[in-house]
Amino acid sequence: MKLGRVLLVVVAVLSAGGAARAELSLTSGTDYPQVRVGGMLFADYTYQAEPSGTDADGHSIHPNSFNVTRAYINVTADLSRIISARITPDLVRDTDQSSSLSGSSVYRLKLAFLQLALDDVLGKGSWLKLGIQGTPYMDLTDPVYRYRFQGNLFLDREGYLQVADAGISARYAFPSDYGDVVAGVFNGEGFNHSETNDQKAFQVRATLRPAPHAPVVRGLRLTAFWDSDHYQRDAPRERLVGGVTFEHPFVNAGFEYLAAKDRPTPAVPEKDARGWSVWATPRTAIGVEALCRYDWLEPDKNDRGRKTRAIFGVAYWFPLQKGIATAVLLDFEKVRYRDFTPAQPTEKRYAVHTLVSF
């Protein structure tokens, strides 16, 4: 009966569309369950300066378009003091040309997990999580970066890590906020693909916060991450990442270094990739921020190809209450391909990106 009440209220909130955020407490002599419904929207206008394209009549054009790249519905529930859950559908463009929905926006499942709090067993902040969930490294860095609405972070954008995957993971939080360790076993294919074989990805992230109580450097965190997986037996897919993040009222910043090995089948040579990314988002007290980022990638050290990405932008974050965020970003992005075979043109894009989160 209680479950039926929860479902009825969730449906009512999703249909209303008037409230920016709904936080519902369904009680019967207790504080549980508690259900919260929110959402997130990424929308943009993008103008491609290079390379130019051609229309149906062969005229030279600069492609440009209005886009909705993400539209999440977040449903989270605290079912008891130790049991919680989250379900997040994700809007995405269907690009399958053979599908009757080609070009349409369709929903897929982004997150769906059950979480057990282990505070009483391992200490405050520890938990066990089962289902489609954020992967250990991306779950740490994305909230610090805050500009996913412009585009994914380096490791995710270049296809070396998935932002979410199906599996089981556990977190142990060090006492006094000195860091944590998260380890898990995942399918390895990402949330947007089903499992393709009998191989599983083992991922572990260890993060140290050296001075959690020092006023200036309390936001400094040092991270090591390892992902061991296989495309199939005797075909490794491995990632080793070292990262540094820093959070401060007037700037967030980060650096990450990647070493990756890929062999899709035993019959092809192994690719040994190297890359790094550095970014900073200095900000003012009036909501104006800058986005500065540079990525460098060597897809295979046995090849001469190099790829670089530079992003520069200015954003305004509207002053809203805690838990709600709205931002507008004007940015320029340049991608260069050096010594690729076949050669690839330089990409230049100008865009207006918007974020609404509630």
pLDDT of residue 11: 37
Calculate the average pLDDT of the chain.
89
Distance, in Å, from the CA atom of 30 to the CA atom of 285, rounded to the nearest integer, reads 41
CA atoms in the 13 A half-sphere facing the CB of 82: 12
Residue, of 97 and 195, whose pLDDT is higher: 195
Query: Residue 136, SS3?
Result: helix
Q: Give the other-Cβ count within 10 Å of 11's Cβ.
A: 11
Mean pLDDT of 152-160: 96
> Which helix (H) or strand (E) element contains residue 22?
strand 22-25
Query: Residue 155, SS3?
Result: helix
The answer on pLDDT for 57 being more than 50 is yes
Task: Assign 100 a pLDDT band (cuts: 50, 70, 90).
Answer: low
Mean pLDDT of 75-90: 95
pLDDT of residue 30: 57
The answer on pLDDT for 27 being more than 60 is no
Query: In this structure, what CATH number is given to the domain that contains residue 130?
Result: 2.40.160.10
pLDDT of residue 64: 97
Instruction: Tell me the pLDDT tens digit for each residue of 38-53.
Output: 999 999 999 999 999 9
Nearest to 326 by CA among 287, 297, 272, 273: 287
Task: Assign 101 a pLDDT band (cuts: 50, 70, 90).
Answer: low
Instruction: Tell me the pLDDT tens digit for each residue of 310-357.
Output: 999 999 999 988 889 999 999 999 999 999 989 999 999 999 999 999
The answer on pLDDT for 28 being more than 80 is no
Instruction: Tell me the pLDDT tens digit for each residue of 269-300.
Output: 999 999 999 999 999 999 999 999 999 999 99
Q: Let me know: does 208 contact 225? Beta carbons within 8 Å.
A: no
Distance, in Å, from the CA atom of 37 to the CA atom of 20, rounded to the nearest integer, reads 10
DSSP state of 143: H
Task: Assign 3 a pLDDT band (cuts: 50, 70, 90).
Answer: very low
pTM of the full structure: 0.86
The answer on pLDDT for 93 being more than 80 is no
Q: Which residue range(s) make up the domain with 85?
A: 2-357
pLDDT of residue 98: 67
Total domain count, the chain:
1
The answer on pLDDT for 22 being more than 60 is no
pLDDT of residue 14: 36
Place of tokens 């508690």: 34
Mean pLDDT of 200-210: 97
**Residues of the chain with pLDDT > 90: what percent?**
77
Residue, of 75 and 15, whose pLDDT is higher: 75
Mean pLDDT of 250-263: 97
Distance, in Å, from the CA atom of 270 to the CA atom of 260, rounded to the nearest integer, reads 10
**Residues of the chain with pLDDT > 70: what percent?**
89
The answer on pLDDT for 107 being more than 90 is no
The answer on pLDDT for 9 being more than 50 is no
Distance, in Å, from the CA atom of 303 to the CA atom of 46, rounded to the nearest integer, reads 32
What's the Cα-to-Cα distance from 52 to each of 58, 61, 346, rounded to whole Å? Answer: 12, 6, 11
